[in-house]
Structures are given as C-alpha cells and as structure tokens.
Amino acid sequence: MTRQDSASTAPQKYAERSYRSPMGLVGGALLIALGLWLGGDALVRGAPETKLTALFALVLGVPLVAAFTLRPVVKAGEERLLVRNPFRTLTLPWGAVEDLRASFSCEVFTTGGHKYQLWAVPVSLRQRKKAGRQAARGSAPRRFGLGGDAPVPRAMADQTMDELREIKEQAAHREGASGEPVVRWAYGIIAPCVVGVVGLAVMLAV
C-alpha cells in the first residue's frame, strides 16, 4: 500500500475550534493600555505614597481586567471541551457534558449536576432582538415565489451553542471522550489580585 493510500484510510482528525469575544479582547487591550499609561505616569512623577498606590493598583487592575476580557476562551476539541473562565479552567470530556444552553448567559451542564458559565460566549439581547426582527420580515410570503427560503437569522451566541451541541453529539460516544470533569483554579490571576487588594487596603489605612 502506498503512503497516499494509507493516508486516505487513516481516521480524520477533528479540527479544534476556538471561541472568544472579539469585543472583550479589544476592550480589554484598551483598558490595560490606559491603565498602564496612567499608572506608569504616577510611578514616574508621583510622590512615594502615590507610587506605591499606583503599583498596587496595577498589580490588582491589570490581571483583573485580563481575567475578564483576554483570558476567557472556549475550545471544542475532538474528545473534550475546554472552558477557560476568569478564575478557573474547566476540562470537560464530551461524555461528561449533559447539555449546553443559552438564555441570559451561555452555560454548560455536566452529568454530575454541575453548571458552568461560558464567559467567552457572551449573550447579546440586542443581537437576539435584531435577529428576531429579521426572521419576522423574512417569514413574510415573497412575491412571485422569487428568492427561495432564506436561512433564519441567529444571534452569534446562539449560533455558537448550536455548533457546540452538534460537536457534542458527534463526539460524545468516542472512546477518548469519557472521563470526569477537571477544574483548575487560575492562581496566576488570583495571587496578584490578592496582593493588590491587600496593598491598596494598607495604603488607604495609613
């Protein structure tokens, strides 16, 4: 058998999909840049007390903003769903995922009865209302039967959840998709936030 034949018969690997909030990434980068500019100016020109206060504010603010804007991501792989939220990282084998829902927020439910929010997939009620208006206009009968059936508009969060449900259905029964959920705390984010809070409390108390 040639190398080409063996490649064609090999099982096709599933391409991992990543989901993030573009507005969160842009907003987080701008907020961090603004904070560094203001904090840097205080560190250079401020009095000693001001410098310490600015330092602790940066130690608290930069990781906190990054946690809620730059850090969140959802990765749908061949065998598991990885959810990175502001302070936790969840590794959920598809076999352990019971349901995925989008109401006022996007959530994943596990077979153990736990519920986790998907911070990287925010729900926009404005997008939903706009999609609903477009769907209502598209449902009206078309003159002369022209144009065919148009796809029903969907908000971005609802489209993402539909894709994740489809991936779950395809992957849930794979051998490698079994296992228990794993939850890891993001101590690299939590530790500097704690240091910043304590430092600011001390500076304000002095």
Within a domain: residue 9? Answer: no
Q: 114 and 197 share a domain?
A: no
Exposure string (b/e) for 82-99, b if CB count within 10 Å is 16 or more? bbbbbbeebbbbbbbbee
Q: 92 and 125 share a domain?
A: yes
Within a domain: residue 142? Answer: no
Contact between residue 192 and residue 60 where contact means Cβ atoms under 8 Å apart: yes
Domain extent for 119: 76-137+150-185
Query: pTM for this structure?
Result: 0.81
Q: 156 and 206 share a domain?
A: no
97-108 pLDDT, tens digit each: 999 998 889 999
Total structural domains within the chain: 2
pLDDT band at 125 (very low <50, low <70, confident <90, very high): confident
Of 110, 118, 119, nearest in space to 179 by CA: 110
172-205 pLDDT, tens digit each: 678 788 889 999 999 999 999 999 999 999 998 8
Q: What is the mean pLDDT of residues 48-69?
A: 96
Q: 85 and 35 share a domain?
A: no
